[in-house]
Structure 1
Amino acid sequence: MMLKNIKYIITISLLFYSSLLFSQQSIHLNNNWEFLKQDLGGVWEAVRPVTMGNPESVPLWQKVSLPHCVNAEDAVDPDVNYYQGQSWYRTQLTIDNPDQAGRTLLHFEGAGQKTEVYVYTTKVATHVGGYDEWTADITDAVAAFKKTEAFKKQFKGKIPVSIRTDNSRDLEMIPSDLADFNIYGGIYRYLNLVYVPALSVDKMFAKAEVDAAGKLGKLTVKARFYNPAGINDATVKLKLMDPAGKIVAGTEKKINGLNTDLDLWNFELKKPILWTTDQPKQYRLIYEVISSAGNYKGAEKVGFRNINFVEKGPFMLNGKRLLLRGTHRHEDHAGVAAAMTEDMIREEMQMMKDMGVNFIRLGHYQQSRIVLNLCDSLGIMVWEEIPWCRGGLGGEVYKQQARRMLTNMVEQHYNHPSIIIWGMGNENDWPGDFPEFDKEKIRTFMKELNDLSHKLDASRYTAIRRCDFCSDIVDVYSPSIWAGWYRGAYTDYKKSSEEEFAKVKRFLHAEWGGDSHALRHSENPDKALSKIKTGGSTDERAGDASLYGGAARISKDGDWSESYITNLIDWHLKEQETMPWLSGSAYWPFKDFSTPVRPDNPVPYMNQKGVVERDFTKKEAYYVFQSYWTEKPMAHIYGHSWPVRWGDEGEEKMVKVYSNCPEAELFLNGKSFGSKKRNSQDYPAAGLRWNLPFAKGKNTVKVIAKKGKEVITDEFEFNYQTEKWTKPAKMELTKIAEKDDVATVEVKLYDSKGVQCLDAINWINFGLTGDGKLIDNQGTSSGSRKVQAYNGRAIIKVKLNKGKSIVSVGSEGLSTVFTSL
């Protein structure tokens, strides 16, 4: 049933996605590109004739497909800073616009961060900003080039297109390079070749509203036209179809003055079918523009829903309280960085929904239309924001980019029912980019952006996170509360939230959690809490993310284990169930992502706070959220990725089960240790925990949980080690698996007596010589050639290339070891 639902969502999403593009003809330009990771002396170097076999033909281009990110691997290369600079893409296009009077456009869904577009040697467009959509009209340049000898002889009837992207450091751009994420380069979202008639729709604004009782809906439609030919009048036909495909209303209108935004339709609908997070029903607005230029057809989707952040209270959807259960997302993935495929994005968003998410904050920039379409169809409400993130406030060029990106974000995503908040900025109290840090000037500009957002879209709320001196400007404010990570203990969470809630009109807690090094587990995860000062502030302050110096804090002094983070999350979620005034929260983030400011983390250059790894591998934390946030029966025993536990012989060890079932029974080595009832306030694991006497060596644990008539089981096997160890003295490297020409190797650390050191966190450095290649630079615990050990071991995969290789492992103070593959 779940697979059928996923297929249905995928089908609807694809249909919706295709309809949103310029409807006459739109082609993804994915193939036949060449790429150069450096600058050229000028565009002529991209298009000049090259004699075959000429040894002086430089530079050397490589073949790539789009979407493509310049920093697909170097963002997490432990030995280099990621590339920030100019790069080039080139291709040759066959341009065959079926309408001789029509326009030919290149539609960019996102390219970073400054972009120039050339047809042959003619620059046709420039754009600043890495996250908003934009178009380059190449019609005239193509027509001019077709008249040249080069078109006929050198390029044999094709059009050379060259694109220069630039993600160089620039203090007069947002986001700041102080931001805790990579500012990627490249054409990392779709680039489309689009044919439209001389008069087409640039943007169709469709606002669907409904009262809190759901009795009366209202649809307001406005349009902005692309009209370079100056056509004076046209006829517009519109019809509205309900979620079942039935036409509920229609209209036809003659229009003129087509060079300004025009009101097209105001329509009232009694008892519309509502958009909710459980039943995200959408209506479809079909339109056709008829003019002397021909016909232009298109479609938009809208959803009727009523949202209300109650002052000094919770969030209401369609008149009923809804706790926002949220997370965050960066556009970043193992092996591709920002150039995630549609399938990857779809899998990620479905994983979120399956975890119980009904809300997401998109950090910290406008994201792909594919993401927003999926939020609409899956029922995930959205806080989307512009990348005014850290560093302070620049000059007029800086401000103008922020205004432009806010305008583009609102106008381009205006119709999405999932969006409930426009974000003005993030951590704008963080100085560093400019000699001056003037709070009043930041306040003044924040007010300007807030007013602009309300002018562009009065139907949604505005928000910022972590800038206390601007908290009164926006509609909704999120302070910094990192209980149990950057400051205090996780038991301080509710008290800190209540104190911050009292300071503002509307409170929403974005960003909480902590880092966990995937595959690292602990028998005593809360040990470091004994050093922590509790009862005070839980906000993040300058230097708290550092692994050195400063006050005691879990981010520096904790073990970074999955065991600790599951405890922290468990506490937060059980507390949120007893906070009736809470609008909601958003865990930071859903997935580990790369960052240039964390080179010393256990996986270098990775923010490891995700509940899944950068390649979608689930950490244990994923199941804690499921146990609180989902209805579909589930049960998961903690520790599937913990192959060896340790302790004294006869010592009882805790086994935790995360489940949303009301009752569960646990078995150890085939023997029942009784049933327990779930109680969300019985911490940890909502009462589903057992203290068990493991046998030395192999053990098997199994849980049987029941919810109604459904029976859920989970089971896995592990070893229990009672031998004590001293410090690591040697390593052993072995191949543990091989499949499809890929081998997996594992290194283990042992003391001088040959006992595995199960708490060892030594830095491990993998190397390889021979025919194969390490599958590294993935930003995962098992996909980095430099990584901290987890429970005295580390693994990596090797692409064998059907040859022979020797893998090496080095660690400071220990003899290097090798194995042949």
Structure 2
Amino acid sequence: MKKIKLGLILILLSVYGYGQQTSRINNNWQFLKQDIGGIWEAVRPVTAGNPESVPVWSQVSLPHCFNSRDAVDPTGNYYQGPGWYRTQIDVQNPYTYGRTLLHFEGAGQKTDVYLYTTKVGSHLGGYDEWTVDITKAAEDFKKTAVCKKQFGGKVPISIRCDNSRDLESIPSRLSDFCVYGGIYRYLNLVYAPSLSIDKVFASASVDLQKKAGLVNVRLRFYNPGKDSLATVKSSLFDPAGRVVDSSQIKLKGLKGDIAVSSFSVQNPSLWSPNNPALYTLKVSVIGKTGAVMQTEKVGFRNFEFVDYGPFKLNGQRLLLKGTHRHDDQAGVAAAVTEDMMRKEMLMIKDMGANFIRLGHYQQSRIILNLCDSLGILVWEEEPWCRGGLGGDVYKNQARGMLTNMIEQHYNHPAVIIWGLGNENDWEGDFSDFDKQEIRTFMGEQNDRAHRLDPSRKTAIRRCDFCKDIVDVYSPSIWAGWYRGAYKDYKYTTETEFKLVKHFLHIEWGGDSQALRNSEDPEGFLNNIPTGKGADERLGDANLHGGNARVSRDGDWSESYICDLFDWTLKEQETMPWLTGTAFWTFKDFATPLRPENPVPYVNQKGVVEHDLTKKESYYVFQSYWANKPMVHIYGHNWPVRWGKAGELKMVKVYSNCTEAELFANGKSYGVKKRNSADFPAAGFHWDVVFKPGSNHLKVVAKSGGTVLTDEIDQMYQTEKWSKPSKIIIKKVSLAEGVVTVQVNLVDDQGIQCLDAKNTITFSLAGDGTLLDNVGTSRGSRVVQAYNGRALISVKTNNGSSTIGVSSAGLPTVFLAL
């Protein structure tokens, strides 16, 4: 009878996927952006309408970040301190002797969890996952009179998050990104039997010569009741959902990481960026009080960093074409939802990237799952970033977060590198900066990573005195931005490549102000020293002081950065020894270190803005990397060009098609063949005579049997202007209760000053809401003009408002909306 019952359970598990019950706790939260006097303030009875019921909590949903708006508020730095969340949950665990857990996918940066007035858990670190067992506290509280009388049988949960500055925690607050606060990743309520699964470790390897794959499976139990017996069934399914093999084992003694199955696979489908083939592993555990199942995705792939040579995947050279990602988006900061993550990662894939560095901390399991399914190789990194090295608390946090990152993301085939740190040569948090101590700890972390996962490589970026410790090293090379000119790129990279066994170029590119374009983006380059290195040094990111450099003296136009990217991508195609690169970064993001940028407090090195609006540079990468045919005329966000009457103006078209023909005002300027050696735009550039006023451009591109077109209209201004003397303001659109306003800077003759970069400040009075603090060129109330103009929007709220616009030295103007 017992055998029949066990067999039935196993059949049900395999067919229906029955397992522990998990649900996201997204709704019915209250939030307080300050500290409280004690936990009693979070749970004490409140009489409706009592004017003395302070502090006042606000309604929020999860995920939620303290700094959803203030991180890019131009008036000052973002809030760093404690904040509280509270809710009530109905605990109804269906299992006899079951466990009730709160599973945090990430909360920043120090978190304390209370059930009523009892502290039930704490965690240090803002990016790894962790769990609090509330079983006993919930059972005890539900027996009290206050549970029924005050909370209607529900259990009150209060959570304190704190992102206060702390030198003894990582990442350093000297880092060039915000260290956010809040429950900014999903929080789950989990019901599990007394014996459940803590972690599944599935090691998938492949022998390319024998065309054979092997999956070894280890299991770690969550077993607070100290059960000693369990039955484990494991099944492996191929990418089409067919069963490859199954196994069953009975265990006595459930401590440690236990090997439970091993599967051999002949001629496995290999995982790659072009074919991200995923196998499914299902592991079922049957204990005396219930059963659980966990599903994992695995992939067979073989990778190699050839000594002093390129990168190989599955035996073939693959140029890693990469970017970077911060967990940060307009309007939500770190509280990026699953839908937002999916949209962003699809954009990265559509751009043609096959590699990403998740900087500078462990990111959401959702991101890793997307990398697996989309075919994007991953360098993931522990948050030891800048500042030096602290004491025991600091080191223990780093040890724990590295361990968690590796164990929690162990099964993802996309991961090839565990990053151990970033810019660890950057001192400042401590009075002593001891390179040998940093080397010693880096060596310890390197050994830890290899012990936890011998199959992946370790890496760091920019810490020359530790470059011999890790498997893969990236020096600092910013040709054409912080040092040198972009045409120094190939020579500088090849020089650095020869200094380490395994080289990978991480972080390159530069900033661009979205919507700012230039007729002469390189006119300043004669003042930039070349041939003297292309690294970044202390102070280079400042907009004043130091030696001449593009980051300070350039125009921050999209025109310049497109040329920099274009040249560098062209060069990378001629470097057969290159493993690959990742430009910094895919998306603009908030940072406390850059208040003087054209969009204050925003690092503007993205090829999309903070809200995922594409800049022109997105299409440069797509033209080199994407497989799907595309074509894009440069200048969709450049409404007015300028110059002399009859002057030849270059029109650039970014495309991966084999040929393209340009038409200007109906006239053909000829067909050109794609040739990446023909800079710029891989040969797709034409000299065109624009007529004063409106001009229509059209391109027809062909690739095989595919024909694509793109069209834009541009005005051509031949009138010369002097310096700005006044501001012109007008409405340019009204839709769904949102009015968009544009301001233009003009001279005393009323001619638009197309090179003006004056700082513009918007203000609003009345019923409306200024749609600012999103960290974009169109969404900041303080912004540098782009070609003598600036845009912002106002939600009218069905009322009346007046918008004000000011700029130093110019008369302030107002417009009634």
- TM value normalised by structure 1: 0.97
Aligned to 1:708: 704
Aligned to 1:224: 220
Q: Tell me which of 429, 444, 455 is aligned to 1:448.
A: 444
Partner amino acid for 1:820? A
- Secondary structure of 2:715's counterpart equals strand
**Whole-Å separation in 2 of the counterparts to 1:586 and 1:22:** 41
Contact kept, 8 Å, 1:240 with 1:247, in 2: the verdict is: yes
Aligned residues: 802
CA shift, 1:152, in A, is: 1.1
Q: Tell me which of 458, 461, 467 is aligned to 1:462.
A: 458
Is 2:560 aligned against 1:561? Answer: no
CA shift, 1:630, in A, is: 1.1
Aligned to 1:647: 643
**Whole-Å separation in 1 of the counterparts to 2:334 and 2:383:** 15
Aligned to 1:488: 484
Partner amino acid for 1:400? N
- TM value normalised by structure 2: 0.98
**Whole-Å separation in 1 of the counterparts to 2:575 and 2:495:** 13
Partner amino acid for 1:745? V
**1:273-320 Cα shifts (integer Å, max 9, x gaps):** 111110101100111111112111121110000010111011100000
Counting aligned pairs with the same residue, the percent is 67
Consecutive unaligned residues of structure 2, counting only runs of 5 or more, are 1-14
Q: Tell me which of 174, 178, 183 is aligned to 2:174.
A: 178
Q: Tell me which of 153, 161, 168 is aligned to 1:165.
A: 161
- Secondary structure of 2:151's counterpart equals coil
Aligned to 1:688: 684
**Whole-Å separation in 2 of the counterparts to 1:53 and 1:23:** 45
CA shift, 1:22, in A, is: 10
- CA gap 1:214/1:632 in 2 versus in 1, 3 angstroms: farther
Partner amino acid for 2:583? Y
- Secondary structure of 1:568's counterpart equals helix
Aligned to 1:319: 315
**Whole-Å separation in 2 of the counterparts to 1:22 and 1:298:** 9
Consecutive unaligned residues of structure 1, counting only runs of 5 or more, are 1-18
Partner amino acid for 1:615? D
Q: Tell me which of 98, 103, 108 is aligned to 1:107.
A: 103
CA shift, 1:259, in A, is: 2.2
Aligned to 1:622: 618
Partner amino acid for 2:398? A
CA shift, 1:388, in A, is: 0.2
Q: Tell me which of 611, 617, 637 is aligned to 2:633.
A: 637
**Whole-Å separation in 1 of the counterparts to 2:293 and 2:163:** 37
- Secondary structure of 2:496's counterpart equals helix
**Whole-Å separation in 2 of the counterparts to 1:211 and 1:505:** 24
Partner amino acid for 1:677? K
- Secondary structure of 2:791's counterpart equals strand
Aligned to 1:91: 87
**1:657-687 Cα shifts (integer Å, max 9, x gaps):** 0000111000000111111111001111111
Aligned to 1:417: 413
**Whole-Å separation in 1 of the counterparts to 2:422 and 2:468:** 15
Partner amino acid for 1:736? V
Partner amino acid for 2:756? A
Q: Tell me which of 113, 117, 120 is aligned to 1:121.
A: 117
Aligned to 2:269: 273
What is the correspondence of 1:669-688 to structure 2 with a 5 Å cutoff? 669-688=665-684
Q: Tell me which of 652, 657, 660 is aligned to 1:656.
A: 652
- Secondary structure of 2:349's counterpart equals helix
**1:670-712 Cα shifts (integer Å, max 9, x gaps):** 1111111110011111111001000000000000000011100
**Whole-Å separation in 2 of the counterparts to 1:650 and 1:290:** 81
Aligned to 1:258: 254
CA shift, 1:54, in A, is: 1.2
Contact kept, 8 Å, 2:19 with 2:291, in 1: the verdict is: no
Aligned to 1:302: 298
**Whole-Å separation in 2 of the counterparts to 1:624 and 1:213:** 38
Aligned to 1:803: 799
- Secondary structure of 1:104's counterpart equals strand
What is the correspondence of 1:20-419 to structure 2 with a 5 Å cutoff? 23-213=19-209, 215-419=211-415
CA shift, 1:23, in A, is: 4.0
**1:154-185 Cα shifts (integer Å, max 9, x gaps):** 11111000000000000000000000000000
**Whole-Å separation in 1 of the counterparts to 2:70 and 2:356:** 28
**Whole-Å separation in 2 of the counterparts to 1:806 and 1:344:** 33
Contact kept, 8 Å, 1:213 with 1:319, in 2: the verdict is: no
- Secondary structure of 2:597's counterpart equals coil
**Whole-Å separation in 2 of the counterparts to 1:357 and 1:324:** 8
Aligned to 1:793: 789
Partner amino acid for 2:191? Y
Contact kept, 8 Å, 1:353 with 1:380, in 2: the verdict is: yes
**Whole-Å separation in 1 of the counterparts to 2:236 and 2:751:** 71
**Whole-Å separation in 1 of the counterparts to 2:621 and 2:651:** 18
CA shift, 1:266, in A, is: 2.2
- Secondary structure of 1:527's counterpart equals coil
**Whole-Å separation in 1 of the counterparts to 2:717 and 2:486:** 30
Partner amino acid for 1:461? K
Contact kept, 8 Å, 1:22 with 1:196, in 2: the verdict is: no
Partner amino acid for 1:805? S
**1:338-394 Cα shifts (integer Å, max 9, x gaps):** 001111100000000000000000000000000000000000000000000000000
Contact kept, 8 Å, 2:511 with 2:604, in 1: the verdict is: yes
**Whole-Å separation in 2 of the counterparts to 1:653 and 1:438:** 55
- Secondary structure of 1:258's counterpart equals coil
**Whole-Å separation in 2 of the counterparts to 1:529 and 1:100:** 73
**1:15-40 Cα shifts (integer Å, max 9, x gaps):** xxxx9x99411110000000000000
Aligned to 2:779: 783
Q: CA RMSD in A?
A: 1.0
Contact kept, 8 Å, 1:324 with 1:358, in 2: the verdict is: yes
CA shift, 1:260, in A, is: 1.4
**Whole-Å separation in 2 of the counterparts to 1:280 and 1:529:** 43
Contact kept, 8 Å, 1:117 with 1:123, in 2: the verdict is: yes
Contact kept, 8 Å, 1:651 with 1:693, in 2: the verdict is: yes
Is 2:472 aligned against 1:472? Answer: no
**Whole-Å separation in 2 of the counterparts to 1:288 and 1:611:** 44
- CA gap 1:214/1:521 in 2 versus in 1, 3 angstroms: farther
Partner amino acid for 2:672? K
Is 2:488 aligned against 1:505? Answer: no
Partner amino acid for 2:743? V
- Secondary structure of 2:341's counterpart equals helix
Q: Tell me which of 740, 743, 760 is aligned to 1:744.
A: 740
**Whole-Å separation in 2 of the counterparts to 1:698 and 1:267:** 67
**Whole-Å separation in 2 of the counterparts to 1:214 and 1:252:** 27
**Whole-Å separation in 1 of the counterparts to 2:55 and 2:565:** 51
**Whole-Å separation in 2 of the counterparts to 1:664 and 1:214:** 46
- Secondary structure of 1:657's counterpart equals strand
Aligned to 1:14: none
CA shift, 1:497, in A, is: 0.4
- CA gap 1:819/1:431 in 2 versus in 1, 3 angstroms: same
CA shift, 1:214, in A, is: 6.5
**Whole-Å separation in 1 of the counterparts to 2:241 and 2:88:** 41
CA shift, 1:81, in A, is: 1.3
**Whole-Å separation in 2 of the counterparts to 1:33 and 1:517:** 38
**1:189-246 Cα shifts (integer Å, max 9, x gaps):** 0000000000000000001000234701111100100000010011101111000011
Contact kept, 8 Å, 2:95 with 2:289, in 1: the verdict is: no
- CA gap 1:781/1:23 in 2 versus in 1, 3 angstroms: farther
Partner amino acid for 2:465? F
Aligned to 1:543: 539
